[in-house]
């Protein structure tokens, strides 16, 4: 998606070969017009697939997942990173390792928000090692729902996330695929490399 790539080049900051800061338009301050266009793009790509729910992991995926759900006119379900003190009954649980934070966290999904009749689309801000997406897949499978695919804003194509998901037969649609990061360096996968 050219619009997202341009925004990454204009406002993103590569700190090193693994970290890309996009906090000025995706995950701290959010650009609503960009999110609107992202929602339209995902809705168009995944249309006519019988998707019943959009799913994301709190918190950075919420804005693009919401605009996608609005465009598709279906509910959004947010996977929680820790169980609530109040809403802690009837939950599916899994453990996820966070590459960025160097820690693990518990991911939960209420059994009342999804069932075997759901066909879901997962939306996430980044795809790197695929740990968060794999954790979301585990929860969705525990509910016996099916997965239409995963929509990703920014994929670090030099990391193994895509191959992990494709090995599980999960279609991945990335709006911006980064081939190389370095201090103040951002390179995208060219069209003939895809």
Q: Which residues are annotated as a binding site?
A: 20, 27, 128-132, 156
Residues comprising the binding site for xanthine?
20, 27, 156
CA angle 166, 43, 137 (to 5 degrees): 35
Q: Considering only CA atoms, which of 183, 59, 71, 178 is closest in space to residue 125?
A: 59
Residues comprising the binding site for 5-phospho-alpha-D-ribose 1-diphosphate?
128-132
Contact of 77 with 98, CB cutoff 8 Å: no
- SS3 sequence of the chain: CHHHHHHHHHHCEECCCCCEECCCCCCCCCCHHHHHHHHHHHHHHCCCCCCCEEEEECCCCHHHHHHHHHHHCCCEEEEECCCCCCCCCCEEEEEEEECCCCEEEEEEEECCCCCCCCEEEEEEEEECCCHHHHHHHHHHHHCCCEEEEEEEEEEECCCCHHHHHHHCCCCEEEEEEEEEEECCEEEECCHHHC
């Amino acid at each position: 998606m050219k619009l997202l790539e341009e925004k990454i080049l204009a406002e993103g900051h590569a700190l090193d070969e693994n970290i890309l800061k996009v906090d000025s338009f995706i995950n701290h301050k959010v650009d609503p017009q960009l999110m609107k266009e992202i929602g339209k793009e995902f809705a168009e790509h995944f249309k006519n697939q019988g998707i019943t729910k959009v799913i994301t992991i709190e918190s950075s995926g919420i804005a693009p997942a919401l605009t996608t759900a609005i465009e598709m006119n279906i509910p959004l379900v947010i996977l929680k990173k820790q169980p609530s003190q109040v809403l802690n009954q009837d939950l599916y649980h899994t453990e996820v390792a966070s590459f960025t934070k160097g820690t693990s966290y518990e991911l939960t999904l209420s059994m009342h928000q999804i069932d075997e009749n759901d066909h879901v689309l997962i939306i996430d801000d980044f795809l790197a090692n695929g740990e968060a997406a794999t954790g979301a897949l585990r929860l969705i499978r525990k509910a016996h729902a099916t997965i239409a695919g995963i929509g990703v804003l920014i994929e670090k194509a030099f990391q193994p996330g895509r191959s992990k998901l494709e090995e599980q037969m999960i279609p991945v649609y990335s709006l911006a695929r980064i081939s190389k990061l370095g201090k103040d360096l951002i390179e995208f996968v060219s069209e003939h490399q895809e």
